[in-house]
Structure 1
Amino acid sequence: MATANNLHFPLMLVAALGCGLMAGVFFAFSTFVMPALARLQPPQGIAAMQSMNITAINPLFMIALFGTAFACLFLAVSVLFKWHQPSAFYLLAGSLLYLIGAIAVTIAFNVPLNDALAIVKPDSPEGATLWARYLTDWTFWNHVRTIASLAAAALFTVLLLK
């Protein structure tokens, strides 16, 4: 059983909670925020998403997103020195799921889509065209982030129970 004295225990707890929290945020967007925005006319949907993208850049959200990534990165690196332990593979898998499936996907796909949306005029024909593609592409990558974060949270939770 892991103890509080073990550095891996608090980091796994932070990683499990952080991955679960982020999975919940991503799940909310996938299941009702983006479908609700899709029901709006393009200028209103674009303006609403542009506003959300601005307000998402705040300390609490950034700490949850990147603090979790830091915990996962530390766990992934530390496991390389303890590869002989039975839980090492699962610890590395959970860390990589979040780092690649949530953080790398966000940086490589969701942020560039957000950046393109940020500069479009909501009531322009280009805006309407971009919005249709944005809804599909952004939501697809958000589904990936949701699944990866949830799977990582599950792996960390199982490891905490051992």
Structure 2
Amino acid sequence: MLVAATVGNGLLAGVFFAFSCGVVPGLRRVDDLSYVTVFRAINGSIVNRLFLLVFLGAPIATGAATALHLGAARQGTLACLVAGLVLGLFSFAVTAFVNVPLNNQLDAAPIGDAQQRKEARDRFERRWNRWNHVRTAASTAALLLLAIA
């Protein structure tokens, strides 16, 4: 269970890291229409069975691994698991309550003219990027703690 938790959290940290280091800097260089079009396409493609399996499975596996270590003789392991679980759940919450709603707002935004595209991007980009960096840090820290455990 701990291996599944570690791999799942690692995959999520990698996705968020890839956005922070590659996707976001690349999209920063394009015009508003390209930005909104590409981000909408990403939003539509990332919600798939495999991603959802990892996104939902990682916190479940981490919770199960933590529960299996309750009362264990190695309290250091339990402390790392609990901290990893908290950070993983925090990253999950950021995604569910900040990034996904922002994705939905961008998907629903009118973009018929240049001003609407600029406004849609302006309402989305800075906030989404900031919270993506937060969830990247949290999920990476969770991965580290689970690896230590």
**TM-score normalised by structure 2 residue count:** 0.90
Are residues 1:106 and 2:106 paired?
no
Partner of 1:3: none
Q: CA deviation at 1:83?
A: 7.1
2:131 corresponds, among 127, 141, 148, to 141
The structure in which a higher percent of residues are helix is 2
* 1:106-125 superposed matches below 5 A: 106-124=95-113, 125=115
Q: Distance in 2 between matches of 1:84 and 1:131?
A: 52
Q: Distance in 2 between matches of 1:13 and 1:40?
A: 39
How many residue pairs end up in the alignment?
A: 147
Q: Which 5+ residue runs of structure 2 have no aligned equivalent?
A: none
Q: Which 5+ residue runs of structure 1 have no aligned equivalent?
A: 1-10
Q: Distance in 2 between matches of 1:108 and 1:157?
A: 27
Q: Distance in 2 between matches of 1:34 and 1:28?
A: 9
Are residues 1:20 and 2:16 paired?
no
Q: Distance in 2 between matches of 1:19 and 1:77?
A: 17
RMSD, aligned CA: 1.7
* SS of equivalent residue, structure 2 residue 30: coil
Contact 1:12 1:71 in 2 (8 A): yes
1:142 maps to amino acid: N
Q: Distance in 2 between matches of 1:153 and 1:36?
A: 26
Q: CA deviation at 1:121?
A: 2.7
**TM-score normalised by structure 1 residue count:** 0.83
Q: Distance in 1 between matches of 2:98 and 2:42?
A: 17
Q: CA deviation at 1:138?
A: 0.6
